[in-house]
Amino acid sequence: NINGTEEKKFKRFESYKRDNQFPTKIDSLQILVDPKASTVILPIMGRPVPFHIHTIKNASTTPEGDMTFLRINFLSPGQGVGRKDEQPFEDPQAHFVRSLTFRSKDIDRMDRISQQITELKKEAVRREQEKKQMED
Amino acid sequence: MEAFENIHLDLSKAAGKCRFAETGLGWRPAGHQETWTLDGRDIRQAQWSRAARGYEVKIYTRAGAVIQLDGFQHEDFDRLSKVFKIWYSVNLEHREHALRGWNWGKAEFGKAELAFNVQSRPAFEIPYSEVSNTNLAGKNEVSVEFSTAQEQPDKANTAGNIDLNQKKRGKKTTVAADQLVEMRFYIPGTALSKKEKKVKEEEEM
């Protein structure tokens, strides 16, 4: 653009259009990663709640006793280190879910989910960069 | 009398039979003697929506409680809709949830629960009874903590942590394999920065 700086634009995305697109395994009331929809499905009060990978910043696990805590951080305004790092948002004045923390006794599965989310995020970032290069 | 099998009450591990009669409804887990009941006159509002486990009937009581019954089949809607209409004079409203996968929207505080709405559709709801604590975790950041099993005696092996006759607070997630313990929201404009606060104080003086 005019200033020679690159302006980041918000691109819309959508996890699902209809509830019959959910993977059938949601009935386990467990966290699921659906790579086909680039989405992580989180059980919140019995509801399968999709979060697109583009909303997710990172995921990490912390063991504590016989439990593991899985924390998923989401992208929200006011988190960028500098102005340049700030992600574009469709509506910065909206309310945002900033993080969700789950705990489970199933340590292996929690670690696996955390890795899956990290992989999915990497893949999404890689694809974005490829697209950008193509555009350039 | 209308009966439905494999229904869970408030996300209980154990499934049970849910019966509807003219005077009210009841739920009993398999192999249990006691039955949880609700007087039909206590029903203020009822909603039908897609849940993780099949479909869910959510009942808002006059006393402000939120009761969740899940595990229904898609085709149960017609029968249930009649039950609520004819016996309890309540519309079983179809409530569709947001599936876009967005983390931004509007947190709205209702009578009995907090709904996070994405483009006017709820993505999820949190009944206040499940919240154990809330904090202003930072500037524009609100944390909501949920009751955890540790605070309650471990009764998970009975009826899935359900006290049949006395509804306990904050038990909906305690039996889940993946238990939600904390949620943080970014709410713009809720907190004033130190500078803003100072300015405001000076203005008020």
Main-chain dihedrals φ then ψ at residue B101, nearest 5 degrees: 85, 20
List b or e across A71-106, with b for residues whose CB sees 16 or more CB atoms inside 10 angstroms: bbbbbbbeeeeeeeeeeeeeebebbbbbbbbbbbee
Q: Do B52 and A27 touch (CB under 8 A)?
A: yes
Q: In CATH, what class is A23-80+95-135?
A: mainly beta
Pick out chain B residues at pLDDT < 70.
Answer: 149-171, 173-175, 190-205
Q: Which domain holds residue B168?
A: 2-204
| Separation CA B46–CA B56 (nearest Å) | 10
Contact B56 A29 (CB under 8 A): no
Q: For the segment B149-180, what is each residue's pLDDT rounded down to a tens digit?
A: 544 443 443 444 445 544 455 567 666 789 99
Enclosing H/E stretch for A20 = none
CATH of the domain at B43: 2.30.29.30
Identify all chain B residues contacting A31, using CB atoms and an 8 Å cutoff: 178
Which residues 6+ apart lie within 8 Å of A13 measured at CB?
A: A38, A52, A54, B101
Which among A11, A16, A20, A29 is the top mutation candidate for probing chain B, defined by the most B β-carbons within 10 Å of its own β-carbon? A29
CB pair distance less than 8 Å for A97 and B116: yes
- Return per-residue pLDDT of chain A as tens, 136 residues: 455 555 667 888 999 999 999 999 999 999 999 999 999 999 999 999 999 999 999 999 999 999 999 999 999 998 766 555 567 889 989 999 999 999 999 999 999 999 999 999 999 999 989 988 888 7
A105 CB within 8 Å of a chain B CB: yes
Residue B83 has phi, psi (to 5 degrees) of -55, -50
What is the distance between the alpha carbons of residues B4 and A87, in angstroms, rounded to a whole number?
Answer: 49
Residue type, B156: A
Q: Which of residues 53-72 of A touch B (CB under 8 A)?
A: 55, 69-70
What does the pLDDT read at residue B157?
Answer: 38
State the pLDDT at residue A3.
52
- The whole-angstrom distance between B205's CA and the closest CA on chain A is 30
Rounded to a whole number of angstroms, the distance from the CA of B129 to the nearest CA of chain A is 12
| ipTM value | 0.90
Nearest to A46 among B68, B103, B188 (CB): B68
**Tally of structural domains, chain B:** 1
The verdict on a CB contact (< 8 Å) between B103 and A30 is no
Q: Residue A102: what pLDDT?
A: 97
**Which amino acid is residue B9, in one-letter code?**
L
Taking a C-beta distance cutoff of 8 angstroms, is the pair B37, B164 a contact?
no
How many Cβ atoms are within 10 Å of A123's Cβ, its own excluded?
13
Residue carrying the six token digits 């959510």:
B58
Q: State how beta strands B92-94 and B43-50 pair.
A: parallel
CA distance A40 to A51: 5
Three-state DSSP class for residue A100: strand
Q: What is the DSSP letter of A128?
A: H
Contact across the interface for A102 and B103, Cβ inside 8 Å:
no
Alpha-carbon distance B3 to nearest alpha carbon in chain A (angstroms): 22
Q: List chain A residues with CB under 8 Å of B126.
A: 44-45
What does the pLDDT read at residue B155? Answer: 40
- B58 neighbors B72 (Cβ within 8 angstroms): no
Looking at residue B124, its pLDDT comes to 98
CA-nearest residue of chain A to B128? A45
